[in-house]
Amino acid sequence: MMSKPKGKHKKQKNKATLADQADKHDCYQQAVQEPEHETDIFDQVYREAYNRKPLKLREDFCGTFAVCCTWVESDAKRTAWGVDLCGSTLQWGRDNNLSKLKDKEAKRITLLEQDVRELNTAQADVLAAQNFSFWIFKTREEVLKYFKAAYANLASDGVIVMDMMGGRDCYDSDIVDKRTIVKGKSGFKYHWEQAYFNPVNSHCTFYIHFKFADGSKMKKAFQYDWRFWTIPEVRELLLEAGFKDTAVYWEEDDDDNDDEDAVWIKVDEAPNDYSWLCYVVGIK
């Protein structure tokens, strides 16, 4: 009896896919964050409130604190505090963002692994809570407690800046928004999945997935279990927390502007778009 040739029917070892090799934090920063834009918005909001340049930033829920890094790069007098509960995410930021700064810039950033409701940082000119991060608080009591802490963490002339989203499309379930981040072999697709929304209590679940050129996917790279807050609720809670005034910044509707040149203005009324983004500001 003839023996089978060795190795003829052996399965080849699975090659590592692009998803296996990808870094979820790097993908997130490329797909979601625009630190230069955020820095410009903070500067605009503060100048319009107090007619001077802000120097001290506190970035709550800072994650990899890319915004803190851009903030200190933008002016030699600027300092930043990044606050987040996740030590491993902060460490990624140290290894991949902080390490790229000049020593004199890096020294002007302080990182704190703690609850954002703790009161132990220098009082900031601008306190930022971006990417809908405060939506992790699902009751009025929790949000009010956070806003009171934010008020205490701000200087006497200070603003809190938060982005918000809404519109009919944002309440749909089982919807996936897909965007290509970089074209070609080095590119990937960003998928924002609206997985669940409960109209009774406004609790919702969102996922971020990444898909790569070889067809491989990084599923549920990030998961968010939030309450979907509305602009009026947030403005009322800011006033209840002690802020003297609030404002809403809306992107000016101008077909000649692209995303990089977007103009944001204070509004008392806005179009009822199917999907929108805005900034809600509390002024101390």
Max CA separation in the chain (angstroms)? 92
Cα(81)–Cα(42) distance, rounded to whole angstroms? 15
Q: CA-CA distance, 246 to 232, in Å (whole number)?
A: 10
Q: Domain map of the chain by residue range?
A: 21-164+230-283, 168-226
Write the pLDDT tens digit of every residue in 147-197. Answer: 999 999 999 999 999 999 999 888 888 878 888 887 666 789 999 999 999
Q: Output the pLDDT for position 184.
A: 64
d(CA 79, CA 68): 8
- The residue with tokens 């979601």 is 32
Model pLDDT, residue 217: 94
0.85 surpassed by pTM? yes
Q: Which strands, in side-by-side order, build the sheet including 217-227?
A: 175-180, 188-198, 203-212, 217-227
User: What is the reported pLDDT for 10?
Assistant: 46
Separation of alpha carbons 119 and 152, rounded Å: 7
State the Cα torsion 50-266-161-64 to the nearest 10°. -120
**Assigned superfamily of 21-164+230-283:** Vaccinia Virus protein VP39 (3.40.50.150)
Low-confidence ranges of the chain (pLDDT < 50): 1-12
Residue 245 CA to residue 231 CA, distance in Å, equals 14
